[in-house]
Amino acid sequence: MPASSGNTARQCLLLRDFKPAGLCATPSFALHIAEVLAEQGGTPEPLGLRYGIFGAEPWTDGMRRALEAGLGCPAYDLYGLSEVVGPGVSGECEVRDGLHIADDHFLPEIVDPASGEPLGPGLQGELVLTTLTKRAMPVIRYRTGDITTLTTTPCRCGRTSARMGRLVGRADDMLIIKGVNVYPSEVEGALLDVAVPEPRAGSSRGGQAPWRGGRPPAGSAGAQRRRDAGAPAHDPALRGQGRSRGGTNVTEDER
Ligand SMILES: [Zn+2]
């Protein structure tokens, strides 16, 4: 059931009314939904969600824990990109030890982001994909810009496809600090491991939802480049809520 993005109160209403088995969104928007649910005084259990599928931006295991607590269901990672197929290049199984690649459709490789040279199993580098079954717009050794690892060892779930690690970040997001490669997602992971005291109510942030160690900091890889999990920029404050809804919002001038 496509629900678009923004208007978080309506998203919460849809979750309550239709009780879907799963929720698919960007992790940052899903966490915002969970925060609004909590602000409305609800708990996630009555929603009856059985799974959450999240992608389109790098997210950490700390974010996973926050999502699972806020939505009351296991959170799974999903990966894809518009240039190749959209969502569905790879996804986590119940073991959640890497994302199974649909390698009957996509041939994955890992290369050195600087030199383009192929790297061995388990080494971190840039994901390169070749489509095997696309006809209209095949891509050959397409450099995704996404940093991850590959393994072909069998998964405990029994599936034998290649698996990619969770995204570390974008090749063009990497910072070199004192000779060490640092990705924004690593900063997020470190921050989520720190117990953050709740900001006091009535702070000077003018009603803006405080960051409680769950949402990616502004400027993270996800904020800069969103992939195809179905929800683009999500800040409800930036969205015209209720506009263009069959004339229900006609102004005096328009009459
Ligand atoms: Zn598996």
Quick check: 28 pLDDT over 60? yes
Assess if residue 139 is contained within a domain: yes
pLDDT at 241: 35
Handedness of CA 127, 123, 24, 21 (dihedral sign): positive
pLDDT tens string 129-181: 999 999 999 999 999 999 999 999 999 999 999 999 998 888 887 777 877 77
CA–centroid distance, 174 to ligand 1, in Å, is: 29
For residue 134, being part of any structural domain is answered with yes
d(CA 165, ligand 1 centre) in Å: 12
Q: What is the pLDDT of residues 186-232, one digit of tens each?
A: 787 788 777 766 655 544 444 444 444 444 444 444 433 444 443 33
Task: Give the Å distance between the CA of 97 and the centre of ligand 1.
Answer: 7
The Å distance, Cα 93 to ligand 1 centre, comes to 5
Q: Which of 152, 170, 188 is the last residue of a domain?
A: 170
Predicted pLDDT at 24: 94
Distance 222 CA to ligand 1 centre (A): 25
Using 50, 70 and 90 to split pLDDT, how confident is the model at 253?
A: very low
Q: In sequence order, what are the beta bridge partners of 106? A: 131
CATH number at residue 94: 2.30.38
Instruction: Give distance in angstroms: CA of 150 to centre of ligand 1.
Output: 14
If you count them, how many residues does the chain have? 255
Q: Which residue has the higher pLDDT, 78 or 182?
A: 78
- Distance between CA 210 and CA 201 in Å, rounded? 9
> Residues 203, 195: contact at Cβ < 8 Å?
no
Domain presence at residue 223: no
Cα of 69 to ligand 1 centre, how many Å? 23
pLDDT score recorded for residue 197:
63
Per-residue pLDDT reduced to its tens digit, 66-93: 999 999 999 999 999 989 988 999 999 9
Residues 38, 9 share a domain: yes
* Residue 39 domain flag: yes
Cα–Cα nearest to 67, from 57, 56, 79, 59: 59
> Tokens standing for 15?
């979750």
Residues 89 and 161 in one domain: yes
Cβ atoms within 10 Å of 116's Cβ, excluding its own: 12
Coil/strand/helix, residue 76: strand
Nearest to residue 160, comparing CAs of 172, 150, 148, 152?
A: 152
Contact 98, 155 (CB under 8 A): yes
Q: Is 124 exposed, middle or buried (0-12, 13-18, 19+ CB in 10 A)?
A: middle
pLDDT the model gives residue 196: 66
- How many angstroms separate the alpha carbon of residue 10 from the centre of ligand 1? 34
Mean pLDDT of all residues in the chain? Answer: 80
Domain boundary among the residues 54, 73, 92 is at 73
Q: What is the pTM of this model?
A: 0.69
Task: Read off the pLDDT of residues 109-127 as tens digits, 9 standing for 90 and up.
Answer: 999 998 999 999 999 999 9
Residue in 162, 156, 57, 158 with CA at minimum distance from that of residue 108: 162
Q: How far is the CA of 178 from the centre of ligand 1 (A)?
A: 37
**28 Cβ neighbours under 8 A, 6+ residues apart:** 57, 59, 215, 216, 222, 223, 234
Residue 250 lies in a domain: no
Top-confidence range, 2-6, 45-49, 139-143: 139-143
- Give distance in angstroms: CA of 197 to centre of ligand 1: 37
* Region of poorest pLDDT, from 12-21, 55-64, 171-180, 192-201: 192-201
Residues 89 and 164 in one domain: yes
Number of folded domains in the chain? 2
161 alpha carbon – ligand 1 mean position (Å): 8
Ligand 1 centroid – CA 164 distance (Å): 11
Model confidence at 251: pLDDT above 50: no
* Cα 56 to averaged position of ligand 1 atoms, centre (Å): 20
Pairwise CA distance, residues 16 & 84, whole Å? 34
Is residue 253 one of the residues assigned to a domain? no
| Domain co-membership, 1 together with 30 | yes
Among 147, 170, 193, the domain boundary falls at 170
Q: Which long-range contacts (CB under 8 A, 24 or more apart) does 218-222 make?
A: 219/184, 220/57, 220/58, 220/184, 220/185, 220/187, 220/188, 221/57, 221/58, 221/167, 221/169, 221/170, 221/173, 221/183, 221/184, 221/185, 222/26, 222/27, 222/28, 222/56, 222/57, 222/58, 222/59
Compute the distance from residue 90 Cα to the ligand 1 centre, in Å: 11
Note the pLDDT of residue 7.
87
Mean pLDDT for the stretch of residues 24-46: 91
Is 196 part of any domain? no
| Residue range(s) defining the domain that contains residue 147 | 84-170
Judge if 51 and 26 occupy the same domain.
yes
pLDDT computed for residue 200 by the predictor: 59
245 has a pLDDT exceeding 70: no
Distance 53 CA to ligand 1 centre (A): 15
> Does residue 227 form part of some domain?
no
